[in-house]
């Protein structure tokens, strides 16, 4: 049976991403930290790892990108999960009784308008599903958690309020990590990391290798180099496979212009499902 590592307790959103991509017939290996996901795959304790890398509302997961730089695992696929946050409490808890809410900082950030409207005191924790597990084990009056519907089913907590995220299009992007490259797909995406010389126009010239070949960039982000203060590395995603003729030529051009270049992976591109009901909600929100 395929083994997939993820960060968090059973019921974490990463486990929902595993269910979405792999289906039910895989063994899930919970890890305490994101670093442990990499170790599990590198040490052959798991064949794949499910790594959260960015949220459409709260932004990138900085540690994930730093770990991709430090380790040599390949991106095997990407998964885009629609994240629905639930307010959970011990059975019988009413919304009017809640004073404090616990969850991971990312989940709290994605529900901040809802939380502020109710005047809850926020208590950040290391993990959404673990917050649900711990509250179920030791119920506290006036305390609720934000976690998934899956976490509610596993922990036995009751859903007090549904879909409390601030924006209906709340998606989290995950990378499926492995030790081998995936088969080439009809639609592919490539992720790389590079550094450019510290001189005028250097980054412009690096990105120009893609522009002049008509290659669409889908993400670019700078991060500090941890071993070199005030120097930066760039994470870049673009459409296409590294073995496509134009993409290969762009990579060769970038290699000549950059100081460092690392391929993180070429993998099948995921699509973000568009739900008409949510689209109408978004339009109404903008008009209101």
C-alpha 148/C-alpha 12 separation (Å) is 7
DSSP code of 275? -
Please name the helix (run of DSSP H) or strand (run of DSSP E) that holds residue 243, with its range, or none. none
With helix as H, strand as E and coil as C, how does 66-116 read?
Answer: HHHHHCCCEEEEEEEEECCCEEEECCCCCHHHCCEEEECHHHHHHCHHHHH
Distances (CA, A) of 158 to 86, 87, 189, 241: 10, 8, 40, 45
Please name the helix (run of DSSP H) or strand (run of DSSP E) that holds residue 156, with its range, or none. none
C-alpha 102/C-alpha 120 separation (Å) is 10
Q: Where are the alpha helices (DSSP H) in the chain?
A: 13-22, 34-42, 62-70, 105-110, 112-118, 128-137, 149-155, 202-211, 245-257, 276-287
- Catalytic position from the list 174, 194, 210, 238: 174
Nearest in space to 237 (alpha carbons), one of 49, 96, 45, 54 = 54
62-70 and 34-42 are packed helices; what angle lies between their axes, rounded to 10 degrees? 30
- Catalytic position from the list 128, 172, 190, 195: 172
Q: Assess whether 21 carries a catalytic annotation.
A: no
Nearest in space to 82 (alpha carbons), one of 13, 128, 181 = 13
Other CB atoms closer than 10 Å to residue 199's CB: what's the count? 8
Contact at 8 Å (CB) between 10 and 129?
yes
Q: Assess whether 172 carries a catalytic annotation.
A: yes
- Catalytic residue positions? 172, 174
């Amino acid at each position: 049976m395929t083994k997939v590592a993820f960060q968090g307790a059973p019921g974490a959103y990463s486990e929902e991403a595993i269910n979405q991509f792999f289906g039910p017939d895989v063994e899930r290996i919970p890890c305490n930290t994101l670093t442990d996901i990499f170790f599990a795959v590198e040490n052959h304790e798991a064949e794949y790892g499910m790594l959260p890398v960015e949220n459409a509302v709260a932004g990138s997961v900085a540690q994930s990108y730093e770990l991709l730089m430090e380790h040599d695992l390949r991106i095997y696929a990407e998964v885009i999960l629609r994240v629905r946050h639930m307010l959970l409490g011990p059975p019988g808890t009413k919304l009017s009784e809640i004073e404090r809410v616990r969850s991971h900082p990312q989940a709290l950030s994605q529900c901040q308008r809802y939380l502020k409207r109710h005047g809850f005191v926020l208590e950040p924790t290391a993990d959404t599903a673990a917050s649900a597990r711990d509250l179920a084990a030791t119920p506290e009056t006036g305390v609720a958690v934000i976690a998934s519907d899956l976490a509610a089913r596993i922990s036995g907590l009751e859903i007090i309020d549904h879909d409390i995220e601030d924006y209906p299009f709340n998606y989290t992007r995950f990378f499926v990590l492995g030790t081998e490259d995936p088969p080439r797909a009809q639609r592919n995406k490539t992720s790389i990391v590079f550094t450019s010389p510290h001189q005028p126009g250097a980054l412009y010239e690096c990105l120009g290798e893609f522009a002049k070949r008509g290659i669409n960039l889908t993400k670019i982000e700078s991060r500090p180099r941890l071993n070199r203060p005030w120097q930066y590395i760039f994470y870049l995603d673009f459409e296409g496979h590294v073995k496509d003729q134009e993409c290969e030529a762009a990579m060769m051009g970038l290699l000549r212009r950059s100081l460092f270049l690392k391929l993180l992976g070429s993998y099948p591109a995921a699509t973000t499902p568009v739900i008409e009901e949510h689209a109408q909600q978004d339009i109404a929100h903008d008009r209101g």
